[in-house]
Amino acid sequence: MHDTSAKQLIVFTAPDCAFCKQFKQEIVAQWQSDMPIQEIATSQPPDGLILEKPLFATPTIVLFQQGKEIARYTGYEGDKMRFWKWLGFQLLTPDQQRIAFEQGTERPFTGSHLDEKRPGTFVDPITGAPIFRTDTKFNSGTGWPSFFNPVEGAIVLVEDNSHGMHRVEVRSASSGIHLGHVFDDGPPPTGKRYCINGNVLKFIPD
């Protein structure tokens, strides 16, 4: 019997389904989120979980909460960012969605983790992938959590010419969400200031 109180993902697969194997390799095998995910090779949900309607394709990824289906993602053809965006719209608050998917910015001194100093890791709120460690965090006085170095491979940088400015946007490499911007006025050893919206980080203490 499943714990039906929290959210959980069930991946419905089928034998000889190439896209199911691809989803397993590209998503399930890299899974770092603390939300449970389970693969089953049947069209019937485990005991205690209720589907809203029958399945018609594989893989189908269904999000359950309190035992009932609340969202589903049907089919997978290798578009990882599309899947993570779907999941992000299920897990994030409207304010987090605005930052993550519309390049929004929280007001200074209003976001999460500004004063977080405990040893630990700041992770992507959708994928759970590590992005920054506390020992690279510094007080920039700007009102946003600031870091001088990301976890290796955790981010991608994108040229941003919006609002009449030339800036460099920071996105999560795992989910593609907008995190903030990077500037060249940070401390040694990198001289970088990764100016990040705290509301789209999740903190996991060591």
Domain boundaries, the chain: 7-91, 104-205
Mark 179-199 as b/e (b = at least 16 C-beta within 10 Å): bbbbbeebeeeeebbbbbbbb
CATH of domain 7-91: 3.40.30.10
Q: Is the peptide bond before 59 cis (omega within 30 degrees of 0)?
A: yes
> Catalytic annotation on 20?
no
> pLDDT at position 151, please?
98
Q: Let me know if domain 104-205 sits in CATH 2.170.150.20.
A: yes
> pLDDT at position 3, please?
45
> pLDDT at position 4, please?
42
For the chain, which residues score pLDDT lower than 50?
1-4
Q: Which residues contact residue 32 at a Cβ distance below 8 angstroms, ignoring those fewer than 6 apart?
A: 123, 127, 128, 129, 130, 174
> pLDDT at position 125, please?
96
Residue 205, helix vs strand vs coil? strand
> pLDDT at position 163, please?
77
Find the DSSP H helices in 47-185. 80-91, 94-102
Annotated catalytic residue within 11, 195, 196, 201: 195
For 150-181, the pLDDT digits (tens) are 999 999 999 988 878 889 999 999 999 999 99
